[in-house]
Amino acid sequence: MTTETAIDSVETQPQELTRAEAFKYWLKLGFISFGGPAGQIAIMHEELVVRRRWISENRFLHALNYCMLLPGPEAQQLATYIGWLMHRTWGGIVAGGLFVLPSLFILIALSWVYMAFGNIPVIAGLFYGIKPSVTALVVHAAYRVGSRALKNAWLWGIAAGAFVAIFALDLPFPLIVLMAGLIGYFGGKYAPDKFRAGGGHGASKKAYGAALIDDHTPTPVHALFSWSCFRTVLVVSFALWAVMLGTLTAVYGWNGVLTQMGWFFTKAALMTFGGAYAVLPYVYQGGVDHYQWLTAPQMIDGLALGETTPGPLIMVVAFVGFVGGWTKAIFGSDSLFLAGAAAATVVTFFTFLPSFFFILLGGPFIESTHGNLKFTAPLTGITAAVVGVIVNLAVFFAYHVLWPQGLSGHFEWASAFIGLAAGLALFRFKVGVIPVVLGSGIAGLAFQFGAAAVHLNV
């Protein structure tokens, strides 16, 4: 539907939406939500605001502004919010759950292929090319976030300080977030113009026709704030978390792999300000350095898989869980797939439970007013720090890709060439993520087979 057609039909009210129709759409979205948060939000805007007119532009952006303030994947949270607004609590759970579940099943299957057949030359060649493209993707992510967030010298200073803190001082990611938030808080008090949020998702003047939930549609009864609903969401969410973690503790002990995954990824979920790229250094510090669930090269491979599957990029944690469960053989050496699948499921549950909690608990507050929300000064500081953290992630990936045996080993010229080509495609030609990753994988496969042929001839 074009904008002109939508405006011409401004008086046409969309038909009432059934739960079955909503279920079909959320299920479809779970399989087509490629392109990271920006792409996923664009897909929902086109479908829900422009074509289907389930929700108006202003109400859509109002919900998005709230989701942007929260830790966690904003696109998944936005789907949860709209599903909740339309069809109560279960509508939100269905929308948010179906945004994640297809990705979980796909990643479990791909992780099994990776662990079981990763040493096969074809698979190894594909990942040889994909790894440098992931480095280029991280650099591109740093550029995208930085171009929006770093509006003055103060914010550039916070970004630089965050990079030094994690790269040179090896400070933990939560501490960096806390420090950046405090700087933003005091900066907002004493230099408000420097920490005023910019480039947010403001209101739009576009009209696409009458919507089921329009600008002046009264807030549904179930979305009105009440202390009884607030207490129910608070108690049920905490009970779900406590029962799951308590059960894992009772069965496997506090130091068990699944228990520690539940505890660690609960903390990671609360640190996901600024998107998945921002929290990946924290996941790396825990998963690779501390718990040793997987190796640094495996972490890069997992990010590559996450980039090429639908769903939130933070779903890379499912790969981390799968590899950790497989590596630690938590159910014995004869049940490696079951161990990996169980660990991936546990990790996904604890990563996304807070997202449902924030939407169902805070949604009624947000629906109490339809004015625009702005980023707080502490969040502005945190977003600036995220840029430095992402740059550190790019340096980390580049080091392991270009010098796989360390600085004393050989330099991977082919990887450097593939990475530069991927960067050129992203920055200069605006090529999408999936074509870049797939093209890099094919290039890596061609190089590996070419090198093998030369070796045989010699």
* 6 has pLDDT over 60: no
Closest CA to 99 of 77, 126, 116, 115: 77
Most confident of 112-126, 186-200, 408-422, 431-445: 408-422
Closest CA to 36 of 353, 352, 350, 275: 275
Which pair of tokens denotes residue 166? 């994690």
* 371 has pLDDT over 90: no
* Half-sphere CA count of 366, side-chain side, radius 13 A: 26
End-to-end CA distance of the chain: 61
Would you state the pLDDT for residue 150? 87
Distance separating alpha carbons of residues 128 and 440, to the nearest angstrom = 9
The pLDDT tens digits for 140-164 are 878 877 887 788 999 999 999 999 9
* 124 has pLDDT over 70: yes
Over its C-alpha atoms, the chain yields an Rg (Å, rounded) of 23
Would you state the pLDDT for residue 82? 95
pLDDT category, 423, cuts 50, 70, 90? very high
Would you state the pLDDT for residue 448? 80
Which pair of tokens denotes residue 24? 């079909």
In 403-432, which ranges are continuous DSSP H helix?
413-427
The pLDDT tens digits for 178-230 are 899 899 888 888 888 888 654 344 444 455 678 888 878 888 888 888 999 99
Would you state the pLDDT for residue 434? 75
Average pLDDT value for residue range 161-168: 92
Region at 354 (left for phi over 0; alpha for psi -120 to 50; beta for the rest): alpha
How many residues can be counted in the chain? 458
* 458 has pLDDT over 90: no
* Half-sphere CA count of 378, side-chain side, radius 13 A: 10
Distance separating alpha carbons of residues 101 and 30, to the nearest angstrom = 7
All structural domains of the chain with their residue ranges: 19-457
Q: Look up residue 179 and give its amino acid.
A: M
Distance separating alpha carbons of residues 63 and 366, to the nearest angstrom = 8
The pLDDT tens digits for 37-95 are 766 777 788 788 888 889 988 788 778 767 877 888 888 999 999 999 999 999 999 99
Closest CA to 391 of 153, 150, 198: 150
Would you state the pLDDT for residue 452? 66
Average pLDDT value for residue range 158-171: 91
Average pLDDT value for residue range 414-435: 90
